[in-house]
């Protein structure tokens, strides 16, 4: 096992580069270690064959996934209908899948470096990046957690150029710097004559990052003109998860949010936002039901709230169920609604039902939902709100689609009460920070237990509520209509990465001109 020691070190450090809560205590931010955490692993891999490269990188990432995602176990045990061993088994399965992505991409990076002569500081970052991109969408709707870029939430003022590249641009540079630092240290140890070349490469990458930072700040200054302002109130009801779905508590839960909403109005809020499924009753999106809906307890308030919805007039009718957001005006009439587009596998639906029928227990607490199709913002007056429900803020393409559809502001309605006081809520909010920065929009985050926050177009949390506190957050924000390069073009760096990967394959397998017949 001594041979795995360095892989173990990288895996262990990889846990703590992300926001971490252990035994109720939040560990100080260690995100800066993301730029060097792979060096011990790379040091070990440099002298290994392909099989050992796969096994060492697999072990390292498996350890990171187990440690960073430990919060999956209490969530599934407490609310998913599974016992401890079953919950642990799901975590292990998730960690195995994620480790396969990393180990396979590491294998490919070394293969094309050794066989094709491509520089390691390109092959490894490119294939690691493509693995992170792939796991954003596959399997079963994707799971983009553990992308090292999402360890940088505290340092986003340094990375304003993300509006040009999206999150994957930062991912590439983090991977690239890990490899370059390793190569520089290795060259120094072995007295390699290319030491200056490796140091020069580090300087060049830092120069590129600096230029991008300058360009990003300049573009932001030119486009920062406000197209208006709005005063919003975010409501954090802090309702325990076991009470949230208790039908006998529905009216009291509703009253908590209604009372807090009127409190926010007294503080000057003209638009109120509740978390995901905060409205405790099922609503119908049938035209007749919509026309008859009146919630007199919210009279005088403009409210955007999350609720479960159906297409029929009654829940007993057969038909799709949606995780939705509804916008009502001061007369308590529904103006528009939005259905969640990207569902949580095993939380809101069971993928591959014929094979995984046992997993239906995981959806008992919330139901088996259907996907929405529209990215159209919800309009109130002159303001368009692009809605992201629950972990839809994990997926860059969803917020980008909302902004391209005309959203002035992004809104994330979520309920992280499932996870209790664990790392999950602190890791989750970083995704929202990146979505705000990529699209240069304010992102308003309304949660049940935390982290309720206002995130500015620079990706910074400008104000937030204390977790597990019943409170309101009222803030005046500016509106924006200007789009970023990323919003227009998407993740161009992924296209270049695919092209480079194709070139590597082409170079290896295409017969060479000097080959003999």
pLDDT of res. 454 = 98
pLDDT of res. 401 = 97
pLDDT of res. 452 = 98
Average pLDDT value for residue range 306-329: 83
pLDDT of res. 513 = 57
Q: Residue 366 maps to which CATH number?
A: 3.60.110.10
Percent of the chain with pLDDT over 90: 65
* Co-location of 188 and 74 in the same domain: yes
* Co-location of 208 and 234 in the same domain: no
Could you give the residue ranges of the DSSP H alpha helices within 350-423? 396-404
* Co-location of 249 and 165 in the same domain: no
pLDDT in tens, 340-396: 998 887 777 766 655 555 555 555 554 678 899 999 999 998 899 999 999 999 999
Burial class from Cβ neighbours inside 10 Å (0-12, 13-18, 19+) for residue 509 reads exposed
What is the DSSP-derived secondary structure letter of residue 345?
A: B
Report the alpha-carbon distance of residue 487 to residue 396 in Å, rounded: 10
pLDDT of res. 364 = 54
Q: Residue 392, CB half-sphere, CA atoms under 13 Å: how many?
A: 32
Who wins on pLDDT, 396 or 201? 396
* Co-location of 214 and 247 in the same domain: no
* Co-location of 163 and 257 in the same domain: no
Position 215 pLDDT exceeds 80: no
Structure tokens at 386: 């692009």
pLDDT of res. 190 = 75
The DSSP bridge partners found for residue 323 are 308
139: cis peptide before it, omega within 30°? yes
pLDDT of res. 129 = 98
Q: Residue 226, CB half-sphere, CA atoms under 13 Å: how many?
A: 11
Report the alpha-carbon distance of residue 444 to residue 442 in Å, rounded: 6
Structure tokens at 28: 């100080």
Does a structural domain hold residue 350?
yes
Distance of CA 403 to the CA centre of its chain: 17
pLDDT of res. 354 = 54
Does a structural domain hold residue 510?
no
Average pLDDT value for residue range 85-96: 92
The DSSP bridge partners found for residue 18 are none
Does a structural domain hold residue 498?
no
Q: Residue 310: enclosing H or E segment and its boundaries? A: strand 303-310
* Co-location of 144 and 191 in the same domain: yes
Average pLDDT value for residue range 499-506: 94
* Co-location of 176 and 265 in the same domain: no
- pLDDT averaged over the chain? 89
pLDDT of res. 306 = 95
Structure tokens at 401: 């689609």
pLDDT in tens, 8-54: 999 999 999 999 999 889 999 999 999 999 999 999 998 899 999 99
Does a structural domain hold residue 499?
no
* Co-location of 168 and 257 in the same domain: no
* Co-location of 242 and 196 in the same domain: no
Average pLDDT value for residue range 415-438: 95
Domain count for the chain:
2
pLDDT band at 65 (very low <50, low <70, confident <90, very high): very high
pLDDT in tens, 122-151: 999 999 999 999 999 887 788 999 999 999
Neighbours of 158 (CB within 10 A): 12
* Co-location of 317 and 402 in the same domain: yes
Of the listed ranges 71-85, 208-222, 223-237, 263-277, the least confidently predicted one is 208-222
Strands 383-389 and 409-414, sheet pairing: parallel
Report the alpha-carbon distance of residue 259 to residue 261 in Å, rounded: 5
pLDDT band at 116 (very low <50, low <70, confident <90, very high): confident
* Co-location of 253 and 124 in the same domain: no
The DSSP bridge partners found for residue 384 are 379
Give the range of the structural domain holding residue 294, as residue numbers without chain letter. Answer: 229-481
Strands 271-273 and 303-310, sheet pairing: parallel
- Residue 472, SS3? strand
The DSSP bridge partners found for residue 271 are 232
Q: Which of 79-93, 315-329, 333-347, 455-469 has the highest mean pLDDT?
A: 455-469
């Amino acid at each position: 096992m001594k041979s795995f020691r360095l892989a173990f070190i990288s895996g262990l450090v990889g846990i703590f580069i992300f926001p971490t809560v252990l035994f109720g205590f939040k560990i100080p931010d260690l995100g800066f270690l993301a730029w060097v955490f792979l060096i011990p692993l790379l040091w070990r891999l440099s002298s290994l064959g392909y099989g050992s490269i796969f096994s060492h990188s697999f072990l390292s990432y498996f350890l990171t996934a187990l440690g960073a995602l430990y919060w999956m176990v209490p969530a599934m045990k407490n609310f998913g209908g599974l016992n401890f061993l079953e919950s642990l088994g799901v975590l292990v399965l998730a960690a195995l899948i994620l480790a396969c992505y990393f180990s396979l991409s590491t294998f490919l990076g070394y293969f094309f470096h050794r066989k094709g002569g491509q520089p390691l500081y390109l092959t490894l970052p490119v294939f690691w990046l493509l693995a992170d991109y792939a796991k954003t969408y596959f399997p079963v709707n994707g799971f983009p957690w553990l992308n090292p870029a999402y360890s940088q939430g505290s340092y986003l003022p340094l990375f304003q150029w993300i509006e040009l590249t999206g999150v994957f641009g930062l991912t590439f540079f983090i991977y690239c710097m890990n490899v370059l630092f390793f190569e520089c240290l290795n060259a120094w140890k072995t007295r390699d004559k290319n030491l200056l070349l490796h140091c020069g490469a580090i300087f060049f990458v830092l120069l590129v990052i600096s230029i991008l930072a300058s360009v990003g700040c300049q573009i932001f200054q030119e486009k920062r003109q406000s197209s208006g302002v709005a005063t919003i109130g975010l409501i954090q009801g802090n309702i325990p998860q076991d009470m949230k779905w208790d039908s006998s508590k529905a009216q009291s839960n509703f009253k908590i949010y209604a009372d807090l909403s009127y409190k926010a109005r007294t503080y000057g809020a003209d638009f109120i936002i509740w978390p995901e499924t905060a409205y405790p009753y099922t609503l119908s999106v049938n035209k007749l039901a919509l026309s008859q809906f009146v919630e007199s307890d919210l009279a005088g308030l403009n409210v955007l709230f999350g609720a479960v919805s159906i297409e029929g007039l009654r829940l007993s009718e057969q038909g799709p169920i949606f995780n939705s957001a509804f916008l009502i005006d001061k007369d308590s009439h529904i103006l528009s609604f939005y259905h969640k587009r990207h569902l949580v596998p095993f939380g809101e639906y069971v993928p591959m039902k014929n094979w995984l029928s046992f997993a239906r227990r995981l959806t008992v607490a919330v139901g088996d939902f259907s996907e929405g199709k529209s990215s159209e913002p919800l309009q109130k007056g002159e303001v368009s709100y692009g809605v992201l429900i629950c972990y839809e803020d994990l997926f860059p393409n969803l917020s980008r689609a909302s902004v391209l559809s005309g959203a002035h502001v992004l809104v994330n309605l979520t309920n992280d009460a499932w996870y209790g006081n664990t790392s999950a809520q602190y890791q989750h909010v970083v995704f929202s920070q990146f979505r705000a920065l990529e699209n240069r929009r304010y992102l308003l985050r309304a949660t049940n237990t935390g982290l309720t926050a206002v995130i500015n177009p620079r990706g910074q949390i400008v104000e937030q509520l204390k977790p597990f506190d019943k409170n309101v957050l009222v803030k005046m924000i500016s509106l924006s209509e200007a789009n970023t390069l990323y919003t227009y073009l998407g993740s161009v760096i992924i296209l270049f990465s695919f092209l480079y990967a194709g070139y590597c394959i082409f170079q290896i397998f295409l017969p060479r001109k000097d080959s003999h017949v």
